[in-house]
Structure 1
Amino acid sequence: MTVPAPRTAFVKRRRYRFDLRSTALFFVFLAVVVSVLGLAARVAAGAVERRPAWVFVLVLIGVAACLGLRRRWRVAGVARRAAAALDEAAREAAEQLQAPAVSHRRTAVEAVVVDYAALTPEEFEEAIAALCERDGCSGVEVVGGAGDLGADVLAVTPDGRRIVVQCKRYDASHRVGSQDLQRFGGTCFTVHEADVAVLVSTSDFTAPALEYAEQCGILCVDGETLEAWTDGTGPRPWDVAPEAGTAGAAGCETAGAGF
């Protein structure tokens, strides 16, 4: 059996033509470059021979310029990294100080100092009403005046209890007596239907007055306790007021017979 001989694959090769014009132009350009470089070398050599000091100065200036540019780039990089680090540190410091700053502002708002002794009786009633409203009471009314029947401020506490407040702006030497408590105790529960009865004074209470208030379930707030309530260091009156209701009214009637 005869096997046909394999056919030889012919690869088409690209033929490069010799271009005399391009070659001549290349050698002309090369000659010009060599001539310019030679001329520059001759000028430099002549300058070195005539003024070697100037050449030395020019070389130093060139080297200094290169070093300056390199240093400038390095300093710019360091400055950018430093600025980024400072910005990050400032952001972290602001985040850490944000909560204390808010707490400080809240404390400054709560730590209010009021000279209650310098207020008129009407202004004192308004100030007590403002305290009730500040601490979450709703329906706050100032009803003091002629025919108020012992009530100066009416409100509803945050937990829904009706609070009746009588205000006594007395001098420090004028303490609240048992007669003041008896007049208030005779109306705060039966007439005004108080769940919380409070008598607030800028002065102090006599011992019989405090005893009567305890039997009736009336909370007595003296000048020191009022300051603590005002600046937020003390409790709100309705948070510590005794449960009174109908039992409180009956207790006031019984206690009133003894004073």
Structure 2
Amino acid sequence: MAQKRTRRTAARRRRNAALAGGALLLILLVAFWSAIWPYLLAALAVGGLSAGAWRLWRTDRLHRDADQRWRREDAIQGGHRTLAEVDAMSGTEFEDHVAALCRRDGCTEVRRVGGAGDNGADVLGRLPDGRTLIVQCKRYTTKSTIAARDLRDLLGSKAHFGADLAVFVTTTRFSRQSLDFAVQNGILAIHRDSLGLWNNGAALQSLLNINGAGQGNEQHRARWKNTYGKPPQSRNQPRDSK
């Protein structure tokens, strides 16, 4: 009984002390209200602005993250397109696809300009290092061969636009003379095999290191013939489109 009475007394004292402290705080608040209310309002205003700024920042961050996820997924989807899907594209769709691959690899100011009066340029832009870029796109049947005069035309277009790098992209192969001409004149020649690498994730600039290679030896050409038919030695062949 004595212990219970002691506990009740201690609890009563703590309650009384709390009430006394609260009353004192209220008295002080009333007494000094005129002096502290500007600070309280300022604190509330700063808190509200901070909360609003944080909310805007978070909303912007969520939108940016969603946009980045969409771009990554779109790049992966684009990179996983098969060459059969590329073969089914129209000439304009192929140009758009090449422009998208350039953007994926960090090129800027990329725009498709192909069409009548394009002066030999289908895509223009800048490489990630700032150099200007001109691209000629030829979505031909796999039984066609790119001749040297196509590369000479692109070299003239490079001079016309003052581009630093010229790129020739095709869904077929280059003749031996055209590939030699490309390498000798600093033109990046992306034939079907290199296009497959680029289409599946290889960076555009990495293809510069293998320019002039990849069309294979006699065994490779024999497999090409079995798959697509014998590649012709000139341009005088029917083509699907540009």
TM-score, structure 1 as length reference = 0.49
Counterparts in 2 of 1:230 and 1:136: CA distance versus 1, 3 Å = same
How many residues are treated as equivalent by the alignment? 137
- The yes-or-no answer on 1:198 pairing with 2:190 is no
The 2-side partners of 1:196 and 1:241 are apart by 14
Aligned partner of 1:142 in structure 2 is: 112
The SS at the match of 1:209 is helix
Counterparts in 2 of 1:161 and 1:109: CA distance versus 1, 3 Å = same
The 1-side partners of 2:203 and 2:88 are apart by 24
Aligned partner of 1:168 in structure 2 is: 138
The 1-side partners of 2:138 and 2:79 are apart by 23
The SS at the match of 2:111 is strand
The 2-side partners of 1:238 and 1:162 are apart by 17
The SS at the match of 1:186 is helix
The 2-side partners of 1:132 and 1:108 are apart by 14
Cα deviations by residue, 1:175-202 (Å, 9 ceiling, x for unpaired) = 11111111111121x1111111100000
Unaligned runs of 5+ in 1: 1-101, 243-259
The 1-side partners of 2:205 and 2:167 are apart by 7
Equivalent residue runs for 1:114-125 within 5 Å: 114=82, 115-125=85-95
The 1-side partners of 2:128 and 2:139 are apart by 26
Cα deviations by residue, 1:80-132 (Å, 9 ceiling, x for unpaired) = xxxxxxxxxxxxxxxxxxxxxx9xx9796575124211111111000000111
Write out the 4+ residue segments of structure 1 that deviate beyond 6 Å after TM superposition: none
* Selected match of 1:240 from 181, 190, 208: 208
- The yes-or-no answer on 1:157 pairing with 2:127 is yes
Contact kept? 2:169, 2:190, Cα under 8 Å: yes
Shift of residue 241, structure 1, vs aligned partner = 6.7
Shift of residue 159, structure 1, vs aligned partner = 1.0
Counterparts in 2 of 1:202 and 1:146: CA distance versus 1, 3 Å = same
The SS at the match of 1:187 is helix
Shift of residue 235, structure 1, vs aligned partner = 3.6
The 2-side partners of 1:173 and 1:162 are apart by 32
| Percent sequence identity over aligned pairs | 39
Larger Rg: 1
Unaligned runs of 5+ in 2: 1-68, 211-242
What is the Cα-based RMSD across aligned positions, in Å? 2.4
The 2-side partners of 1:224 and 1:239 are apart by 11
The 2-side partners of 1:165 and 1:150 are apart by 9
Contact kept? 1:213, 1:220, Cα under 8 Å: yes
Aligned partner of 1:178 in structure 2 is: 148
The SS at the match of 1:132 is helix
- The yes-or-no answer on 1:223 pairing with 2:184 is no
Larger relative contact order (CA 8 Å, sep ≥ 6) = 2
The SS at the match of 1:129 is helix
Contact kept? 1:219, 1:237, Cα under 8 Å: no
Shift of residue 230, structure 1, vs aligned partner = 1.3
Cα deviations by residue, 1:118-174 (Å, 9 ceiling, x for unpaired) = 111111000000111111111111001111111100011111111110001011000
- The yes-or-no answer on 1:211 pairing with 2:186 is no
The 2-side partners of 1:108 and 1:138 are apart by 19
The 2-side partners of 1:235 and 1:111 are apart by 11
- The yes-or-no answer on 1:126 pairing with 2:90 is no
TM-score, structure 2 as length reference = 0.52
Aligned partner of 1:250 in structure 2 is: none
Counterparts in 2 of 1:113 and 1:217: CA distance versus 1, 3 Å = same
Amino acid in structure 1 at the alignment position of 2:114: G
